[in-house]
Chain A
Amino acid sequence: MGEIWSFVEVGPEGIEDVSLEIIGKAAELGAQSNTRTAAVLTGWGMEEIVKEVSRYPVDKVYYVEHSELAVYDPAKHAMALHQLVEREKPETVLFGATYNGVDIAARLAVRTGAGLIAHVTYLGIDPSDGRLIGHVPGFGGSIVAVCKFRPGVLQIATVRPGVFEKPSPTGREAEIQRFSPDLHPTDGWKIVERHVAKVVDITRAEKVVVAGMGTGGDLTLIKTLAEKMGAQLAVTRPLADLGLAPRDVQVGSTGVSLRSKIALILGVSGASHFVSGIRDVKTVISVNIDRNAPIFQFSDYCVEADLFKLVPRIVEELEKEGG
């Protein structure tokens, strides 16, 4: 039977978290169905990272190396992967649903005639026929479509970041297989500029303060509060659209989902695209000036107040507590 592959992406800070998360999931699915697993990397000059990946729970690591793969270009990476798929005939390929992973997965699916289930929040095996099932949230996250692959097709799924647990290294090193794809130098992507800052992964933060448009776009006060609370700062989509905070800290169906113990939500109306991102928060405290704001339906503690008056008070109280 064909292997289960995890496509591993490397960002400025090394292996992407979601890549480890899918490796963990693949290991689980592999154990359940008695299938071998492999991690796959595409790139150039990645020896160190490839070795690091081999220490995670995989049976094998494929390193697809070519100088044409040095720059992220979805067409080229999909072409290279396609050649390895032809040779090895895997059963399943998992990708992180990242800015790059989505493009490569989609292009690979067309090249190979594969099924593609996107942005899944759950993966399981149908015991009756061994085929993969994925859950895809739709309609702003209020409804889940249970999707299944047709028989006989390569199964490709992209996985929403922050959903599965990261595995620990195994203490041994899996076998590494190098593969040189047949790629000709062609005109493709050129990176003209890149501006990336270190990303805080708010999906795993214990405490989060979420700012909405009720802040009027000035986050100074909210940042002070977050600092005093030892919490991470998150925002709603309109604030990210305005460029006041990076997209990576935007909560909701088109952003990230929080799993924190507590979320203090300030000046957020509670649109369905937003609230799907706070479903897994243990305790939700919301502050809104409007007693009828929908967010209160999704909160444990509802505080009708003007945040500009209330937040300085909370900061004061926290200072009194000496923490």
Chain B
Amino acid sequence: MRRRVDEMDIVVCVKVVPKVEQVRFDPITKTVDRASAENELNDADKNAVEAALQLKDRHGGKVTVLSMGPPFFEPFLKLCVAMGADDAILLSDKAFAGADTYATSYVLAQAIKRLKPDIVLCGESTSDSGTSQVPPQIAEWLGYHNISYVSQISIEDRAVVAKRTVRGGYEVVKVPLPVVVSVELGSNTPRFPDFKRKRWAEREFKITVWTANDLELDLNLTGKTGSRTDVIELQSIAPPQRLRKFLEGSEEEKAKTIVKILKELKT
């Protein structure tokens, strides 16, 4: 099949995170018990996958999901394939473990260099650490442009036209490809996998796993060794003590009490 001129080769970076509501903190060992929580695809990354699939629907091309993490990420990458992604690559190696955003973005960038896409989509941030730094850092390693907090994307004459949230509103920017775009959480409704494709993804599809040997890497820049920062301690923030007093009575009485509380606070 002949390639259409505007076909998009798209990479989507996704990460698997523990469900925030289920994460338990052990105050004695000062660690997060990730095992007690179920994992899920980072919410904003689902929006990024959906945005990629919409671009593919419009322009044709290929969507590859890319993730750096341990082998338990695999079923979640298959979920992306079930949604409609064409390929999935997991970057998994002991040499990548313990990475901060600097070392994470480096490995992701080196993998993207091998894939040479037109556009890279990420989520706006991850819900576990939520720094929003990985996408612009990937862009800088690659010398690509980047656009953050994007809620709408289109492609016009080899450039991305994107609506991005800014303080007080939004702006529409036009930036030449290749670009790393971070997609705003909640900016679209991720599609449900079709039953047949889901079954195929689960049973037949094979994820590509790349280790450090498959990439051109300076191992001084990866994993814990390559990181520039350390987490020295975790602390749980105790929720503030609240009165938790229920106001009883009729609607009118409740309204009166609320107004009284408001007035007392004024003084």
Contacts and interface: CB of A to CB of B under 8 A. Distances in A.
Real binding pair: yes
Interface of A: 11-12, 16, 73-75, 78, 98-100, 102-103, 105-107, 109-111, 113-119, 133, 135-150, 153, 158, 187-199, 207, 229, 237-238, 241, 246-248, 253-254, 261-262, 264, 271-273, 275-276, 279-280, 282-285, 296-305, 309-310, 313-314, 316-318, 321
10 contacts: A75-B146, A103-B148, A105-B133, A109-B137, A136-B129, A142-B237, A143-B32, A146-B232, A262-B265, A317-B258
Contacts of A229: 262
A12 B168 contact: yes
A310 B239 contact: no
B130 A297 contact: no
A300 B241 CA distance: 9
Given A136-B131, A199-B168, A318-B259, A142 B236 contact: yes
Contacts of A314: 255, 258-259
Contacts of A198: 168
Contacts of A296: 244, 246
A254 B125 contact: yes
Contacts of B265: 261-262, 282-283
Nearest to B129: A138
Interface of B: 18, 20-21, 23, 25, 32, 100-102, 105, 125, 127-137, 139-141, 145-146, 148-149, 161, 164-176, 185-187, 227-237, 239-240, 242-247, 251-252, 254-259, 261-263, 265
Nearest to A261: B265
Contacts, number: 263
A116 B161 CA distance: 29
Contacts of B169: 194-197, 246
Q: Which 10 residue pairs of A and B lie closest in terms of their CB atoms, listed nearest first? A: A115-B228, A313-B255, A118-B131, A106-B136, A110-B140, A241-B186, A196-B168, A196-B169, A300-B243, A107-B140
B227 to A, nearest CB: 7
A74 B139 CA distance: 10
B259 A317 contact: yes
- Most A Cβ at <10 Å: residue of B135, B164, B235, B258: B258
B25 A110 contact: no
Contacts of B134: 106
Given A194-B169, A309-B251, A316-B255, A78 B261 contact: no
A73 B251 CA distance: 54
B102 A109 contact: yes
A143 B229 contact: no
A297 B168 contact: no
B20 A272 contact: yes
A146 B168 CA distance: 31
